[in-house]
Amino acid sequence: MLPHFYMGRPTPDAVAPAPTPAAAIPAARAHRAHEWLLIGSGVVAAAQVGKAIISIPLIRSDLAIGLDLAGLMVATFATLGAFFGFGAGVVVRQIGVRRSLIGGMAAVALGNLAGAAAPNELVLLAARIIEGIGFFGALLAIPSMLAAIVTGERRDFVMAVWSSYMPAGIMLMLFFLLPLIGWRNLWLANAGAAAACCLLLALRAPVLTTMTREPAGRFLTEIASVVRHPRCVVLAVAFFAYSCQIFSLAFALPQLLTSVHGVSLGLTGLLSALVLAVSAAGHVASGILLRAGVPIWLNVAASFGPFAVSAFVIYAGAPPPPIVALAAALGLGIGGLAPGAIYAAAPRAAPSPQSVPSTIGLMQQASNLGQFAGTARARRMGRTPRLDHRAGDRRPDRVAGACRGLCAPARACSDRRRCCGAGT
């Protein structure tokens, strides 16, 4: 899981005055640099999810922790997002997106430093919570900041590229040779990356004046206005369904390849990274399609069919590992069209320009609830006595079909007049 915060033209104080023709090219380059800095910071933040996934076996061995606590460390971000994502969006608006972004990356760096030195599991869990707070401070601020600096004709493409931050961040961690460097050194490397982003953002992130602080009493009013808006709710439901599918498949795929197909850990990591790379490419492709005039609702609706087909291929039979990886890549790649389109629709669905961060917070909370549902399903499969394709366990197919059905209202939500604007 946003230009100028809304469909209308930016307010006079929302952006800097239009540059003169002589300054137009440098100004455009500066905006592009800001965009890539923001997106890159999001990838670094998302890498904190990927590092936990790949590090858990070593952490369990080093700190002698149980499977349940290890799972909680992986799910820390999803837990925080599921309970506080919506409210966090309102908080980001109150403190300002720039402060939230810089402070969030600083918290990610501090959490990594504390985690690298953790003497026991409780300190490491506390460090993960600090990282999680910073994670949401950054990731709820970045789309809102992009909303203020990206011009209308480029907004859908940029937001689609932004939506690939999660698979890109997780994929980045899969390329680390963890057994050689150790999990503590991986934490230190992430601390350095987050600190570098924090410094660059403090020096280069644009200063925005589009949002004013509101009295604390308006928190509940703002939340209620977003929740009552049908378009915001349907976008959240679509994001829930997408996250449920991608995390269920992403968590189950390594287990399927190793335990069922006998693939080595090294090859499993490579195949998983390639699958996530295809997923990230799908996010970017969504922006290309939106720029070409493909409606937002079509991007969202078309993404869920391949999920159902890929689930059937992966779970219902006994295909060779390359076919399993290919089916997963196609499902996640085409499914990746959804997040970019959802992010593009968010500012248009928001009840007001000032409600965009809260709308994104609602989407983020729904996304994390989907992560809970997807990973819980994968863990339940992992705890069964055996995961045998030949036994014909078709429950994942029914989950895929249910998630596909959940997004049937997406087309109505994204009607070109009501939610996505003319021509989309």
pLDDT above 90 coverage of the chain, percent: 16
Rounded Cα distance between 364 and 162, Å, is: 14
Q: What is the pLDDT of residues 226-258, one digit of tens each?
A: 888 888 888 899 889 888 887 777 777 777 777
Say which DSSP state 206 is in: P
Average pLDDT over residues 288-302: 84
pLDDT level of residue 38 (50, 70, 90 thresholds): very high
Check pLDDT > 90 for residue 317: no
pLDDT at 213 over 80: no
In 3D space, the residue among 146, 102, 424 whose CA is nearest the CA of residue 295 turns out to be: 424
Estimate the share of the chain in helix, then strand, then coil, as percent rounded to the nearest 5.
Answer: 80, 0, 20
For 20-34, what is the mean pLDDT? 65
192-196 CB contacts, 8 Å cutoff, 24+ apart: 192/109, 193/44, 193/47, 194/44, 194/45, 194/105, 194/106, 194/108, 194/109, 194/112, 194/134, 195/105, 195/106, 195/109
Task: Name the band, by pLDDT with cuts 50, 70 and 90, for residue 210.
Answer: low
Going from the C-alpha of 256 to that of each of 81, 156, 263, 268, the distances in angstroms are 28, 36, 9, 9
Average pLDDT for 83-102: 81
Do residues 367 and 288 make contact, with C-beta atoms less than 8 angstroms apart?
no
Cα gap 246→264, rounded to integer Å = 23
Residue 376, pLDDT score? 66
Asked if residue 175 has pLDDT above 70, the reply is: yes
104 confidence band (pLDDT: 50, 70, 90)? very high
pLDDT tops 50 at residue 385: no
Q: What is the pLDDT of residue 337?
A: 86
Question: What digits encode the pLDDT tens for the residues 253-287?
Answer: 777 777 777 777 677 777 877 888 888 888 888 88
Nearest CA to 399 out of 243, 277, 259, 256 is that of 243
Phi and psi for 359 in degrees, rounded to 5?
-65, -45
> Which pLDDT tens digit goes with each residue over 330-367?
888 888 888 888 888 887 888 877 777 778 878 888 88
CB 396 within 8 A of CB 311: yes
Give the model's confidence band at 160: pLDDT under 50 very low, under 70 low, under 90 confident, else very high: confident
Please tell me the class of the 3-8+25-413 domain: mainly alpha
Give the pLDDT mean for 126-147.
90
Q: Give the CA-trace dihedral at 55, 50, 357, 239, to 10 degrees.
A: -120
- In this predicted structure, what is the pLDDT of residue 191? 96
Cβ neighbors of 330 (< 8 A, separation 6 or more) are: 278, 306, 309, 310
CB-hemisphere CA count at 13 Å for 86?
Answer: 19
400 Cα distance to chain centroid: 20
pTM: 0.73
Q: Where are the alpha helices (DSSP H) in 96-213?
A: 97-116, 121-149, 155-162, 165-174, 178-181, 183-204
- The per-residue pLDDT for 400 is 45
Mean of all residue pLDDT scores within the chain: 76
Q: What is the predicted pLDDT for the residue at 256? A: 76
Assess whether pLDDT exceeds 50 at residue 5.
Answer: no
